[in-house]
């Protein structure tokens, strides 16, 4: 018998917890936490403890599949046949008519290769991934204000903050191991302010719970700044020496008095004044946020407002301060870092910049397109119009994750050719012409970048299941079949060396340096120790920039026909579209299906009972879902988790998006709730 423990990174959220995969005679038999890991410290959440189940699920794809035209059924084909068909079809597409979706579940190396494949082989910048749907506003917003669209500080530093302001992050459920640091901080006496329309587990521990009406975050943050400026509590030295644009900010926030903000947000003015005082009086204050503020048509405005508040009070560039977006997927940070975005190459280097483009043309020995490409939602719109002919999807499931999925279905069905590369036959893969079986995280080497910019190794523990192959190998084989000679790599380590050679923020990262512990970018050279917190002496853009941001309402508000606000999100037991967690016994036992949270008073008015199935309708679709009567949501607001195909929240959501980041508004749309059957 041969037994080994293989150290790797959890495939779920962006906390980047490490654990050991236990392997007995080549079979995966369990998981052991890693005590020495800097974040997880021997702990895991329930998803992490059970992250081996789905790997050995009987549903795993083991062979390439092709859909037969005559009956719409899949048949198994060889890898050679599959790649031949894909090559022929993609070669027929003009660069504008083809697009690629990369994946936050795949490694940095795979995302880098996918964006290189799109740009160097297909000659298109139409490459994007699900960061568009979660933190595109972060990349844009923090980029505008600070010059770097990532978490400013490290997870461990949260423990030593004097005040933590959590806005739009259900941290205990979505990032449980980061919540552990919030709890430890709380025990040490850190003041905790939580702004969230729902009663989330964290609100029980909060000193102040600010329960804003969904979509009013800009007004709330402006209200904080109004109080601070009125009292003269701003950090004048920091503002003078390190920022620009202060006058513009001052002019805008002066009308957001606590009284005015109470009218907009519903939060009592006294509470706004007191919370602002607590935040500004702390020696070091951290802002923590997540998709509660990014997934809005004002997502960028929300993020910029967080930056404004941090700069106004001098809470940037020091330990335990900053603006800290928590990224939802294991490698969503890395997929952005290595350029799986339509406007930038790796390291956020613009495709429109001639010098940068020339650098990549030289490195890849080919001409590259100069126009930024389509984002996820734009791809679906163009496919629906017939302008996009083919999409290649690696490890994403837009049939559950994208807004307005009836529209997404029409768009994907309208394509001439759809390829999906995944580990399961997802809702999206079912619509594909060709499905390619990829390996899970346990069957390949590579790196993931955690939410605090920490680049860490994932390691192959078992052989690929069936004929599945690692995504990086599939991309290389396909690129070579398409005629490219620049996809010859012997290992992911070699791909990382190429990433480092063209990406200044990853310049000093190589596998030999991250065997034991990850490195946090920016890490520009082999001697650089990595960067625990950003903007120490100066901001990445030089001076930090304030923007005066006016409050704007969400794109769709409740009315007589659709009187409720629907807000969507996740639960602790499931992850994203449920592809992996719904194939995990322990997680299904805890939460087998979807539900809608409805406030007690609303349920009474609608004569709705606990456990009853109701219809929820929006202007875009209708679903049936089980009722959970609760005080977690306020009156007039309902909440539905989006993991469940049988009650898909995104059949209802609005694809209206932020004009700059193009992130859809998942957090606010108008719906009505109807009783399905009248009880006797
Ligand atoms: Fe995995 Fe996140 Fe849980 Fe850590 S907190 S074990 S990274 S899901």
pLDDT digits (tens, 9 = 90+) for 13-54: 999 999 999 999 999 999 999 999 999 999 999 999 999 999
Specify which residues 565 forms β-bridges with. Answer: 637, 670
Task: Report the distance separating Cα 87 and Cα 81, nearest Å.
Answer: 10
Instruction: Report the chain's C-alpha Rg in angstroms.
Output: 24
Specify which residues 557 forms β-bridges with. Answer: none
Vertex 283: Cα angle to 280 and 289 (nearest 5): 60
* Predicted local distance difference test score (pLDDT) of residue 678: 53
Is the CB–ligand 1 distance for residue 47 below 6 Å?
A: yes
Residue nearest to atom 6 of ligand 1 (CA): 48
Residue 264 — very low, low, confident or very high, per pLDDT cuts 50/70/90? very high
Mean pLDDT of 407-429: 96
212 C-alpha to ligand 1 centroid (Å): 28
Tens digit of each residue's pLDDT (9 = 90 or more) over 465-517: 999 999 999 999 999 999 999 999 999 999 999 999 999 999 999 999 999 88
Nearest Cα neighbor of 111 from 441, 339, 333 is 339
How would you classify the pairing of strands 3-9 and 18-24?
A: antiparallel
Assess whether pLDDT exceeds 80 at residue 445. yes
For the CA atoms of 618, 620, 623, 628, the dihedral, rounded to the nearest 10 degrees, stands at: -40
For 244, what's the count of Cα atoms within 13 Å in the CB-facing half-sphere? 9
- CA separation (Å) from 202 to 162, 195, 266? 17, 10, 20
Residues in contact with 342: Cβ distance below 8 Å, sequence separation at least 6, in sequence order: 125, 126, 127, 128, 351, 372, 373, 374, 375
From the CA of 45, give the closest atom in ligand 1.
3
Most confident of 132-136, 137-141, 286-290: 286-290
Task: Report the distance separating Cα 212 and Cα 195, nearest Å.
Answer: 7
Residue 677 — very low, low, confident or very high, per pLDDT cuts 50/70/90? low
Is the CB–ligand 1 distance for residue 181 below 6 Å?
A: no
Vertex 119: Cα angle to 115 and 121 (nearest 5): 105
Task: Report the distance separating Cα 472 and Cα 485, nearest Å.
Answer: 15
176 C-alpha to ligand 1 centroid (Å): 7
Task: Report the distance separating Cα 173 and Cα 414, nearest Å.
Answer: 37
Mean pLDDT of 377-402: 94
244 C-alpha to ligand 1 centroid (Å): 38
Pocket test for ligand 1, best of 16, 50, 176, 590 (most atoms within 8 A of CB): 176
494 C-alpha to ligand 1 centroid (Å): 28
Is the CB–ligand 1 distance for residue 48 below 6 Å?
A: yes
Backbone angles phi, psi at 542, to 5 degrees: 100, -95
Tens digit of each residue's pLDDT (9 = 90 or more) over 331-375: 999 999 999 999 999 999 999 999 999 999 999 999 999 999 999
How would you classify the pairing of strands 98-101 and 390-394?
A: parallel
From the CA of 178, give the closest atom in ligand 1.
5
- CA separation (Å) from 638 to 209, 565, 580? 19, 6, 26
Specify which residues 325 forms β-bridges with. Answer: 289
Pocket test for ligand 1, best of 8, 9, 11, 12 (most atoms within 8 A of CB): 12
Is the CB–ligand 1 distance for residue 15 below 6 Å?
A: yes
Backbone angles phi, psi at 301, to 5 degrees: -60, -40
Q: What is the mean pLDDT of the chain?
A: 95
Task: Report the distance separating Cα 24 and Cα 43, nearest Å.
Answer: 23
Specify which residues 469 forms β-bridges with. Answer: 438
333 C-alpha to ligand 1 centroid (Å): 15
Residue nearest to atom 3 of ligand 1 (CA): 45
9 C-alpha to ligand 1 centroid (Å): 9
Task: Report the distance separating Cα 438 and Cα 340, nearest Å.
Answer: 19
Is the CB–ligand 1 distance for residue 282 below 6 Å?
A: no
Residue 133: DSSP 8-state:
H
Assess whether pLDDT exceeds 70 at residue 627. yes
CB environment 528-543: b (16+ within 10 A), e (fewer): eebbbbbbeeebbeee
* Predicted local distance difference test score (pLDDT) of residue 235: 97
Mean pLDDT of 105-134: 95
Spatial contact of 649 and 642, defined as CB atoms under 8 Å apart: yes
CB environment 78-99: b (16+ within 10 A), e (fewer): eeeebbebbbebbeebebbbbb
Q: What is the DSSP string of 533-562?
A: SS-SSSBTTBSEE---------SS---SSS
Pocket test for ligand 1, best of 14, 18, 44, 450 (most atoms within 8 A of CB): 44
From the CA of 575, give the closest atom in ligand 1.
8
330 C-alpha to ligand 1 centroid (Å): 9
Vertex 270: Cα angle to 265 and 276 (nearest 5): 80
Is the CB–ligand 1 distance for residue 45 below 6 Å?
A: yes
Tens digit of each residue's pLDDT (9 = 90 or more) over 141-175: 999 999 988 999 999 999 999 999 999 999 999 99
Residues in contact with 252: Cβ distance below 8 Å, sequence separation at least 6, in sequence order: 222, 548, 549, 550
Assess whether pLDDT exceeds 80 at residue 313. yes
Residue nearest to atom 1 of ligand 1 (CA): 48
- In the chain, DSSP finds a helix count (H) and a strand count (E) of 23, 30
Assess whether pLDDT exceeds 80 at residue 583. yes
Assess whether pLDDT exceeds 50 at residue 187. yes
Pull the structure tokens for residue 598.
Answer: 């409805």
Q: How many CB atoms lie within 10 A of CB 678?
A: 6
Vertex 509: Cα angle to 507 and 510 (nearest 5): 125
Q: Helix, strand or coil for residue 420?
A: strand
> Exposed, middle or buried by CB within 10 Å (0-12, 13-18, 19+), for 367?
exposed
* Predicted local distance difference test score (pLDDT) of residue 347: 96
* Predicted local distance difference test score (pLDDT) of residue 680: 46
Q: What percent of the residues of the chain are helix, what percent strand, and what percent coil, each to the nearest 5?
A: 35, 20, 45
226 C-alpha to ligand 1 centroid (Å): 37
């Amino acid at each position: 018998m041969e037994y080994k423990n293989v150290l790797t990174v959890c495939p779920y959220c962006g906390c980047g917890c490490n654990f050991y995969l236990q392997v007995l005679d080549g079979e995966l038999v369990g998981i052991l936490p890693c005590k020495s890991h800097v974040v997880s410290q021997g702990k895991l959440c329930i998803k992490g403890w059970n992250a081996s189940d789905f790997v050995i699920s009987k549903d795993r794809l083991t062979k390439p599949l092709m859909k037969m035209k005559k009956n719409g059924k899949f048949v198994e084909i060889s890898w050679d046949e599959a790649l031949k068909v894909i090559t022929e079809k993609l070669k027929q597409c003009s660069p504008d008519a083809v697009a690629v979706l990369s994946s936050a579940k795949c490694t940095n190396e795979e995302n880098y290769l996918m964006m290189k494949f799109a740009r160097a082989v297909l000659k298109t910048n139409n490459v994007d991934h699900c960061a568009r749907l979660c933190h595109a506003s972060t990349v844009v917003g923090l980029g505008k204000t600070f010059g770097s669209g990532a978490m400013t500080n490290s997870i461990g530093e949260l423990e030593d903050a004097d005040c933590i302001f959590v806005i739009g992050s259900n941290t205990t459920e979505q990032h449980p191991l980061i919540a552990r640091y919030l709890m430890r901080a709380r025990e040490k006496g850190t003041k905790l302010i939580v702004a969230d329309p729902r009663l989330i587990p964290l609100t029980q521990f909060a000193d102040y719970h600010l329960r804003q009406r969904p979509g009013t975050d800009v007004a709330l943050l402006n209200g904080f700044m109004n109080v601070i400026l009125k009292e003269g509590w701003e950090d004048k030295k920091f503002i003078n020496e390190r920022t620009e644009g202060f006058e513009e900010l001052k002019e805008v926030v002066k009308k957001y008095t606590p009284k005015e903000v109470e009218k907009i947000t519903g939060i009592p003015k006294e509470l706004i004044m007191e919370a602002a005082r607590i935040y500004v009086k702390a020696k070091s204050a951290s802002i923590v946020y997540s998709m509660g503020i990014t997934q809005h048509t004002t997502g960028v405005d929300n993020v910029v407002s967080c930056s404004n508040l941090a700069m106004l009070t001098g809470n940037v560039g020091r330990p335990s301060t900053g603006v800290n977006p928590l990224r939802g997927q294991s490698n969503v940070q890395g997929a952005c870092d290595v350029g799986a975005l339509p406007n930038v190459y790796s390291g956020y280097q613009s495709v429109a910049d001639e010098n940068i483009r020339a650098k990549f043309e030289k490195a890849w020995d080919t001409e590259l397109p100069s126009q930024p490409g389509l984002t996820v939602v734009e791809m679906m719109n163009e496919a629906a119009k017939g302008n996009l002919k083919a999409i290649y999807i690696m490890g994403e499931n837009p049939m559950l994750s994208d807004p307005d999925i009836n529209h997404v279905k029409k768009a994907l069905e309208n394509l001439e050719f759809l390829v999906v590369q995944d580990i399961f036959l997802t809702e999206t893969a079912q619509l594909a012409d060709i499905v390619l079986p990829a390996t899970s995280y346990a069957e390949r080497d590579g790196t993931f970048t955690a939410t605090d910019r920490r680049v860490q190794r994932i390691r192959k523990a078992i052989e690929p299941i069936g004929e599945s192959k690692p995504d990086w190998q599939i991309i290389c084989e396909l690129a070579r079949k398409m005629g490219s000679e620049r996809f010859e790599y012997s290992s992911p380590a070699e791909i990382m060396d190429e990433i480092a050679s063209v990406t200044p923020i990853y310049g000093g990262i190589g596998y030999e340096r991250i065997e034991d512990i990850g490195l946090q970018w920016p890490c520009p050279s082999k001697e650089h120790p990595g960067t625990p917190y950003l903007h120490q002496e100066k901001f990445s853009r030089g001076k930090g920039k304030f923007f005066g941001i006016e409050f704007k309402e969400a794109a769709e508000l409740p009315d007589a026909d659709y009187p409720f606000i629907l807000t969507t999100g996740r639960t602790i037991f499931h992850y994203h579209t449920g592809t992996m967690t719904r194939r995990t016994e322990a997680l299904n036992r805890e939460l087998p299906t979807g539900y809608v949270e409805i406030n007690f008073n609303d349920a009474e008015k609608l004569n709705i009972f606990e456990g009853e199935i109701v219809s929820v309708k929006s202007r875009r679709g209708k679903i049936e879902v089980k009722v959970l009567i609760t005080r977690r949501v306020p009156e007039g607001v309902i909440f539905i988790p989006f993991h469940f195909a049988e009650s898909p929240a995104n059949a209802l959501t609005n694809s209206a998006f932020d004009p700059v980041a193009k992130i859809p508004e998942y957090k606010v749309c108008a719906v009505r709730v109807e009783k399905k059957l009248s009880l006797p």
